[in-house]
Amino acid sequence: MKVPLSRRPSNSGFTLVELVTVLILIGVLSALGIGLFASRSAFSPLLATQQLASATLLAQQAALAGNPANTLTIEQGGDTFRFIVGAGSGNARTFEIAREGTSLSAPGGLPLTLTFDNKGAPSAGTNLQFTFSGDSTFQTCLSSLGAVYAGSCQS
């Protein structure tokens, strides 16, 4: 006697092929993911540019508000790059990032103190080129209008 389809026991679960396929995919993804975290250097030029941009924006906002914390001091210590906003104003903010064997060059050398005018532009009035050098070279520009961006300064 035949059992109708509606009364047959259903086999649920995964086949061996499906399980092996999932294990292979997980293995490939984990092998690729390890490469993201096992880089030679922990220094990130993007992070350094973002720290510089953040510190610049904070000093510009202080300048726009007429606050005496309208300066940005850039220092290169033994192990860190240090960006100090409003040094000596009583309301200083410090941003640091590990150097990891990288050096920073700036016009006029380091330490460098920039002052921003009431429009948020650096009082130097010219573009300032910063170069991070180490395993590779990475450039950051602070334009004469106060914008910070990755790459070389445009004339």
- What pLDDT, on a 0 to 100 scale, did the predictor assign at position 4? 64
Mean pLDDT of 11-31: 86
Question: Could you tell me which of 98, 103, 93, 104 has the C-alpha nearest to residue 71?
Answer: 93
Q: Which two tokens stand for residue 33?
A: 């993911």
Instruction: Give the three-state DSSP class for 91.
Output: coil
Domain ranges of the chain: 17-150
d(CA 122, CA 63): 10
pLDDT tens figures, 72-94: 999 999 889 999 999 988 889 99
- The residue assigned the tokens 């532009």 is 121
Contact present, 126 and 137 (Cβ < 8 Å): no
- What pLDDT, on a 0 to 100 scale, did the predictor assign at position 38? 61
CATH number of this structure's domain 17-150: 3.55.40.10
- What pLDDT, on a 0 to 100 scale, did the predictor assign at position 7? 66
Q: What is the pTM (predicted TM-score) of this model?
A: 0.70
Q: For 6-26, give the DSSP string.
A: GGSPP--S--HHHHHHHHHHH
Q: Which residues pair with 142 in a beta bridge?
A: 128, 148
